[in-house]
A and B are shown apart, each in its own frame.
Chain A
């Protein structure tokens, strides 16, 4: 049986890991290589790196860091941020990424999903969606959650999967950084319409939030979080042992 996955997410800016609350007020946490190695040695099932640098220099620095991470860490690596075309897939895959996450780049140019899936396979293409409630529906937000695109998130995700996205990361802006638990309602709405793995993101504040997530929504494949792991509020190995003891399949 496939295990559920626990995934720490590292936002990287100018070579350092940062994490903002509700996407604002970034705080410098640590080195991506050190943090990545720490997580890999301490139970993380996968690592997600988001490059939130906008400049060309920052992007180059990120590529170098990614190579260093990939040569020291032997678990699956997903990379996102600044993925605007198939050439960006090529760039990060050559640095050792296993999967590539698209978000704003796919909103601007939806054909990137189909083109990347055709070239590298669906297993390589992750569609990451920042969604928020607007007038009773879920809207897709762009630019790190700052801009309402007006698009319906459920329709957008259905389309992405039809075009070849092999995995969905659903980040609820409503619960992100609030630490009161994952957005179960929004996640259920997505799980009900797609057959590819869904990764829950946004809102984890304690171990019990992960138990509730996997018990309530058996179709969710993974839980992703950042600051609770980075600041040591939740220890991944300890979390996984707790989940396993409650009958949730885990790699220990």
Chain B
């Protein structure tokens, strides 16, 4: 079963509903044993990195996610959940992440032109680069997804998609069975639901 990790950050109603919409049973849980039994792990999150990381580490759920990821269980981080997969963040301080994806979380203000609005909010097009990752197999270059963020994944070797906002910003990452998307698939219409569906197909039966 897919488990959406509930660690007290953000509202998981839409995310849980989106799995129901694609016909996949998903459970919202903050129980470490449930997460250990999951066939697929979803790490959601909104808000600030430091607060979320503190909750994830102090509850012991960070260790469970890392251990399951090492065993090959597919993990998908969404928005702040993607950022938590990185090594480090510079949002209001310096905080450690899970270190499952290479790179650091830095302000988009560092790389975009001054006249662009922050946060980067709205529908933007995905660019896959030379090789399209399997998680995008139902997608087409230039498909639009919904973003809301002020920080981005920098110095990352695992980028599988970017979005252009005055600079190419990390839109999605992957390193073997660990995936992350900066955008919200649960708010990105059919394109987003297709990404969730593909993620659930990875590693066989849900």
Contact = CB atoms under 8 A, between A and B. Distances in A.
Interface of A: 1-3, 5, 40, 45, 67, 70-72, 74-76, 93-96, 98, 121-123, 166, 195-197, 221, 251
Contacts of A197: 117, 121-122
* Max chain A C-beta neighbours (<10 A), residue from B11, B20, B122, B186: B122
6 contacts: A2-B165, A40-B189, A74-B21, A93-B11, A96-B17, A123-B121
Contact of B17 (A2, A71, A166, A251): A71
Interface in B84-141: 117, 119-125
B68 interface: no
A72 B47 CA distance: 25
User: Ordered nearest first, which 6 A-B pairs have the shortest CB separation?
Assistant: A71-B17, A251-B144, A2-B122, A251-B123, A96-B13, A3-B123
* Max chain B C-beta neighbours (<10 A), residue from A71, A122, A251: A251
Contacts, number: 72
B177 interface: no
B9 interface: no
A195 B116 CA distance: 9
Given A2-B123, A98-B187, A123-B119, A70 B146 contact: no
Interface in B58-79: none
B206 interface: no
Nearest to A75: B189
Nearest to A1: B164
B49 to A, nearest CB: 13
A75 B122 contact: no
A1 B165 contact: yes
Given A1-B125, A3-B122, A94 B188 contact: no
State which size class the interface on B falls in: 20 to 34
Contact of B120 (A2, A45, A98, A122): A2
Contact of B187 (A75, A94, A221): A75
B20 A71 contact: yes
A2 B144 CA distance: 9
B124 A94 contact: no
A75 B185 CA distance: 9
A70 B13 contact: yes
Contacts of A70: 13-14, 17
A74 B14 contact: yes
Given A3-B122, A75-B187, A76-B187, A121 B47 contact: yes
A156 to B, nearest CB: 20
Contacts of B117: 195-197
A2 B14 contact: no
A122 B149 CA distance: 11
B140 to A, nearest CB: 11
Contacts of A121: 46-47
Contact of A76 (B17, B46, B146): B146
A195 B121 CA distance: 13
* Max chain A C-beta neighbours (<10 A), residue from B11, B119, B193: B11
B123 A74 contact: no
B186 A74 contact: yes
Contact of A5 (B14, B123, B187, B188): B123
Nearest to B164: A1
Contacts of B193: 74
